[in-house]
Amino acid sequence: MSTRGKVRALLAGGLVLGVGAAVVLAAWNDSEFATGTFTAGNFNLQGSTDGTAFSDHAASPGAALPFTLNPDNLAPGDTVYAPFAVRLAANTSTGSTVTVNTPTATGSVANLSYQLIEPTSFGCSSSTTGTELVPTGTALDGALSGVTFTLDPGSPTSDPGGAVFLCFKVTAGAGLVQGQGGTATWQLTAASTS
């Protein structure tokens, strides 16, 4: 065999070996795949002025508190009472910490103070007791800090969470001016705990 023939034979053999090596390497490769699917839960705070019918009041001024007596005809020493309730809606999948924010006041709320109580049942009167969230005598436009309570979720598909009941007690002070008028709006901010 000529030198040229030997070189061709070696090259051909090398090509065959190269192809064979590629096949052997491919047989030793393998893969595993793992896929995670991520879906966000839902979160929805609702309020009620009667303790039964809950709905969303997501923008100010929100639900109108049903104060007892006539809050449009206050005199020094008068106290008016209003119940409110909040809960997490049925589609909510996590618990919540609710912060009671400083009321936003318009007009004149001078010489008006309040107390905010968390009773064990819906309702609000002079005899209502419970956990005091905001102490008696807090100015209606007074700054609040760290006033919170918690809400638990219900079933994320069918049942709302248990309600927390609130009782607002607003008292007119001795310096109340005849004819003064003002409005206070409380914002309750819920933040998911999970």
DSSP string for residues in 79-109: EEEEEEEEEE-TT--S-EEEEEPPPEEEE--
Average pLDDT estimate for 169-192 = 90
How many helices, marked H, and strands, marked E, lie in the chain?
A: 1, 10
Of the pLDDT bands very low, low, confident and very high (cuts 50, 70, 90), residue 63 is confident
Mean pLDDT of 179-184: 87
pLDDT, tens only, 12-51: 444 444 444 444 455 677 778 777 776 777 788 888 899 8
Reported confidence tier of residue 182, pLDDT bands at 50, 70, 90: confident
What's the pLDDT score for residue 122? 95
pLDDT score, position 156: 65
Mean pLDDT of 158-163: 90
Judged against a pLDDT cut of 90, whether residue 183 lies above it is answered with no
The answer to whether the CB of 182 falls within 8 A of the CB of 105 is yes
Model pTM above 0.85: no
- Pairing relationship of beta strands 131-139 and 188-192 according to DSSP bridges: unpaired
CATH (one of 2.40.10, 3.40.50, 2.60.40, 3.30.530) for 45-192: 2.60.40
Domain boundaries, the chain: 45-192
So what's the pLDDT on residue 120? 96
User: What's residue 179's pLDDT?
Assistant: 87
Q: How confident is the model at residue 10 (pLDDT cuts 50, 70, 90)?
A: very low
Which range is least confidently modeled, 6-20, 105-119, 160-174? Answer: 6-20
Q: Please state which of the ranges 18-22, 108-112, 144-148 shows the lowest mean pLDDT.
A: 18-22
